[in-house]
A and B are shown apart, each in its own frame.
Chain A
Amino acid sequence: QKEVEQNSGPLSVPEGAIASLNCTYSDRVSQSFFWYRQYSGKSPELIMSIYSNGDKEDGRFTAQLNKASQYVSLLIRDSQPSDSATYLCAVRGGGATNKLIFGTGTLLAVQP
């Protein structure tokens, strides 16, 4: 079982719709959860971090965390073609390490 799993996609949504990206993780003691956006040929860009159960909103983005289900998601409201990218879920495990475990990413395509 992979430590961090994402559906590779592509996830295709029409412009203006809500895009829902999902991620599950295996390490139950994981403490920190991150969503990164990566455009083709570029490096990852941090979008959201979430540490507590529940929702965290930042503009058009909402991160949701459910530690009991070991599940974290990212909602993008009013999706724009410029949101088309690969979205990486990253998890920091428990303990002293600051290492992140990345999922393989979900490719999002927003259709104009």
Chain B
Amino acid sequence: GAVVSQHPSWVICKSGTSVKIECRSLDFQATTMFWYRQFPKQSLMLMATSNEGSKATYEQGVEKDKFLINHASLTLSTLTVTSAHPEDSSFYICSAIPGGSLMDEQYFGPGTRLTVT
């Protein structure tokens, strides 16, 4: 149980275009999902917390108008990187906490590798 999927697993786009990444909880409902970014040889950096039916909470320094998050259902959150630039190239990973669980274990998706040319 507690499987999280992401789509696409990798994407290459041109500078100035937008890219949407989907995060789905496959076998549980997730009221809260998280979006992380990881640069090579660095640790995970939390970008935002996504709550179903409400606005996402962004971490300091993360541009909310550039990284649009939508958590429209209990099993789907999307991250849209708008007007992507080469410096946005990174490994984007989502995670989710099973709703109703007494524990707060976060389960990670497989990640999406974004390359902006």
Known pairs A42-B110, A43-B93, A43-B110; A102 contacts B105 (CB<8 A): no
B44 touches A102 (CB 8 A): yes
B43 within 8 A of A: yes
Contact of A104 among B32, B43, B104, B107 (CB under 8 A): B43
Closest B residue to A103 by beta carbon equals B43
B93 touches A32 (CB 8 A): no
Query: For the complex, what is the distance from the CA of A90 to the CA of B104, rounded to whole Å?
Result: 12
B109 touches A43 (CB 8 A): yes
Size category, B interface: 10 to 19
Main secondary structure of the interface of A (DSSP, over half): strand
B103 touches A49 (CB 8 A): yes
Which residues of A27-54 are within 8 A (CB) of B? 32, 34, 36, 42-46, 49, 51
CB distance from A29 to the nearest CB of B (A): 15
A98 within 8 A of B: yes
A100 within 8 A of B: yes
A60 within 8 A of B: no
Can you report 8 residue pairs joining A to B where beta carbons are below 8 Å apart?
A: A32-B103, A34-B106, A46-B108, A49-B105, A90-B106, A98-B106, A102-B43, A102-B44
Known pairs A42-B110, A42-B111, A44-B93; A92 contacts B46 (CB<8 A): no
B44 touches A44 (CB 8 A): yes
Contact of B43 among A43, A88, A98, A99 (CB under 8 A): A88
Residues of A within 8 A of B49 (CB): 98-99
B114 within 8 A of A: no
Query: For the complex, what is the distance from the CA of A34 to the CA of B105, rounded to whole Å?
Result: 8
Closest A residue to B105 by beta carbon equals A49
A100 touches B106 (CB 8 A): yes
